[in-house]
């Protein structure tokens, strides 16, 4: 009997550039699918949901929440709580839907897309509208990129199967927001696949010498994402004033103001090794070299640090969306949450001068068995089937 040839899949990953996590997840999954399936089996496309010419909407979506959460945290808290109400979620998602659905539909038709993966909650309604118009739904999947704290907007007008990264996230989705359990699949988080393995000690020693660190000394990495560690120069100054014999790699991201402030601090302590960096493309190497990481509670930083087995001290989280990341670290004894620079400096000193405490944290990290789910999710994308019916879409306004 002749084998039935499977038709070629054309998969669209939809994202918004509201943070590195959405884009990097789309790229990692796309790369994994391309590596596991030949070009005769699958074509993969990535598309920003905002049309290129819409500069106003792009500015609001990409920079608005980051600016508000960083500059006006109390105002952000109020805004975040307001967005839990359905009427506010409608006002949030409707403008995006009106501006993006035609842009997305044209791409779907041009590329003859057969499967859709949504990586941002603001694009869910756009897909529903397209399906209603076409009267021909195709397999579509939402990947919730928040690993622990899940905002209800992920399930507002939601109709697709959903992938979440933790049992905690599924519990929130099903118990608090009432999403059907059979439509929520738990898979490990999407991470850059080079974090699947740690570097061996000889390679770490080579890297320390290459970057100007002493292989015999402990290394503290201070990092905070694209905008650097909030109040980072104050934490750096407190650690240096504490006098702990530790070398420091301080990453500022694209924050030039923070970089200048950190360089002034480093200059005041010339007898210690403090390397100040802007944006780096070797964070994986720095994490492997580090014995302890001080960071903001962004999901990518937290998960990448833990998968490499490095203890964490978190200094800040964005209200609402990053709180679960902090609670996961503290509750599972994988690190600490400290907002006061002097207290943090004392904790760093205690951990560096008492290796037994670092070993205890390492043991807890190993027990959590955090792993990279990129390959598992890539396989699921290729095999899941649509679990919704057209009448469901008709009822969505």
Query: Distances from the Cα of 153 to the Cαs of 87, 156, 219, 396, in angstroms?
Result: 11, 5, 40, 15
Is the same domain home to 304 and 184?
A: no
One domain for residues 224 and 350: yes
Sheet holding 115-118, edge to edge: 42-48, 9-15, 115-118, 140-143, 162-164, 184-186
Is the per-residue pLDDT at 277 higher than 90?
yes
Supply the pLDDT for residue 346.
Answer: 96
Tell which wins on pLDDT, 77 or 303.
Answer: 303
- On whether residue 360 sits in a domain, the answer given is yes
Would you say 22 and 120 are in contact if contact means Cβ atoms under 8 Å apart? Answer: yes
Co-location of 204 and 113 in the same domain: no
Residue-level pLDDT at 4: 44
Burial group, residue 60, by CB count within 10 angstroms (0-12, 13-18, 19+): middle
pLDDT tens-digit map of 252-276: 988 899 999 999 999 999 989 999 9
User: 140 and 123: one domain?
Assistant: yes
Q: Could you tell me the CATH number of the domain that includes residue 247?
A: 3.40.50.2000
My answer on whether 230 and 128 are in the same domain is no
- Residue 289: alpha-carbon gap to chain centroid: 22
Answer yes or no: is pLDDT of 393 > 60: no
> In the prediction, which pLDDT does 3 show?
46
Residues 230 and 184 in one domain: no
Q: Quick one: 87 and 209 in the same domain?
A: no
Q: Which of 122, 117, 143, 153 is nearest to 18 (CA)?
A: 122
Judge whether 322 lies within some domain.
Answer: yes
* Whether residue 352 is found in the same domain as residue 327: yes
Which residue matches tokens 């403008």? Answer: 95
Structure tokens at 350: 């205690």
For residue 292, give the 3-state DSSP assignment: strand
Tens of pLDDT, residues 95-129: 889 989 999 999 999 999 999 999 999 999 999 99
- Residue 79 and residue 68 in contact, taking contact as beta carbons nearer than 8 Å: yes
Q: What's the pLDDT band for 138 if we cut at 50, 70, 90? A: confident
**Does residue 3 fall inside a structural domain?**
no
Residue 397 has pLDDT above 60, yes or no: no
More confident residue, 191 or 21: 191
Same domain, 147 and 281: no
Both 232 and 257 in a single domain? yes
Kindly tell me if the per-residue pLDDT of 164 is higher than 80.
yes
- Name the residue with tokens 């842009």: 103
Residue 51, domain CATH? 3.40.50.2300
Tell me what the mean pLDDT of segment 355-375 comes to: 88
CA geometry: angle 266, 267, 273, nearest 5 deg: 50
Angle between helices 20-36 and 374-383 (to 10 degrees): 70
Instruction: Find the range with the poorest average confidence among 27-36, 60-69, 82-91.
Output: 60-69
What pLDDT is stored for residue 95 in this prediction? 87
Rounded Cα–Cα distance for residues 215 and 288 (Å): 12
Let me know: does 364 contact 310? Beta carbons within 8 Å: no
Tell me what pLDDT residue 195 has. Answer: 87
Q: What is the mean pLDDT of residues 343-353?
A: 95
Whole-number pLDDT of residue 59: 62
Mean pLDDT of the chain: 87
Within the chain, where are the H helices? Answer: 20-36, 55-71, 73-82, 86-111, 124-134, 167-171, 201-210, 232-242, 256-267, 283-289, 299-307, 323-331, 341-353, 355-368, 374-383, 390-394
Domain holding 293, by residue range, is 193-368
Percent of the chain with pLDDT over 70: 89
Res. 35: pLDDT tops 60? yes
% residues pLDDT > 90 (the chain): 56
Decide if 2 is inside a domain: no
Quote the distance between the C-alpha of residue 41 and its chain's center. 29
Is the pLDDT assigned to residue 286 strictly greater than 50?
A: yes
Q: Is the pLDDT at 217 greater than 50, yes or no?
A: yes
Q: What is the mean pLDDT of residues 293-312?
A: 91
Residues 174 and 318 in one domain: no
**379 and 246 fall within a common domain:** no
User: Model-level pTM?
Assistant: 0.83
Domains: count for the chain:
2
- Domain contains 4: no
Region 65-76 average pLDDT: 67
């Amino acid at each position: 009997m002749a084998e039935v040839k499977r038709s070629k899949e054309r998969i669209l990953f939809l994202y918004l550039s509201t943070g590195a996590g959405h884009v990097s997840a789309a790229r990692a999954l796309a790369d994994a699918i391309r590596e596991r399936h030949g070009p005769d089996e699958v074509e993969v496309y990535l598309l920003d949901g905002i049309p290129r010419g819409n500069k106003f909407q792009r500015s609001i979506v990409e920079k608005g929440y980051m600016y508000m959460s960083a500059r006006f945290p109390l105002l952000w808290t109020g805004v975040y709580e307001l967005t839990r109400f359905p009427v506010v979620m409608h006002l949030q998602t409707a403008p995006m839907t009106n501006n993006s659905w035609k842009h997305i539909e044209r791409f779907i038709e041009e590329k003859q897309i057969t499967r859709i993966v949504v990586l941002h909650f603001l694009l869910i309604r756009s897909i529903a509208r397209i399906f209603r118009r076409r009267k021909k739904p195709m397999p579509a999947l939402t990947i919730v990129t928040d690993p622990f704290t899940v905002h209800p907007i992920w399930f507002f007008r939601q109709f697709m199967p959903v992938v979440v990264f933790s049992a905690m996230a599924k519990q929130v989705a099903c118990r608090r927001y009432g999403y059907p359990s059979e439509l929520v699949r738990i898979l490990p988080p999407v991470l850059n696949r080079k974090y699947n393995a740690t570097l061996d000690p000889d390679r770490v020693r080579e890297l320390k010498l290459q970057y100007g660190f002493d292989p015999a000394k402990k290394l503290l990495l201070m990092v905070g994402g694209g905008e650097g560690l909030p109040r980072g120069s104050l934490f750096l100054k407190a650690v240096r004033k504490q006098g702990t014999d530790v070398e420091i790699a301080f990453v500022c991201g694209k924050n030039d103001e923070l970089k200048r402030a950190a360089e002034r601090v480093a200059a005041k302590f010339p007898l210690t090794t403090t390397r100040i960096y802007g944006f780096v493309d070797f964070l994986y190497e720095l994490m492997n070299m580090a014995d302890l990481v001080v960071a903001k509670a962004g999901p990518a930083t937290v998960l990448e640090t833990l998968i490499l087995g490095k203890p964490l001290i978190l200094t800040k989280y964005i209200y609402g969306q990053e709180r679960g990341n902090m609670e996961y670290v503290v509750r599972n004894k994988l690190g600490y949450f400290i907002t006061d620079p002097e207290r943090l400096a004392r904790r760093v000193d205690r951990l560096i001068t008492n290796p037994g405490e670092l070993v205890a944290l390492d043991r807890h990290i190993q027990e959590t068995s955090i792993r990279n789910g990129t390959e598992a999710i890539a396989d699921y994308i290729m095999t899941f089937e649509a679990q919704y019916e057209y009448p469901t879409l008709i009822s969505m306004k």
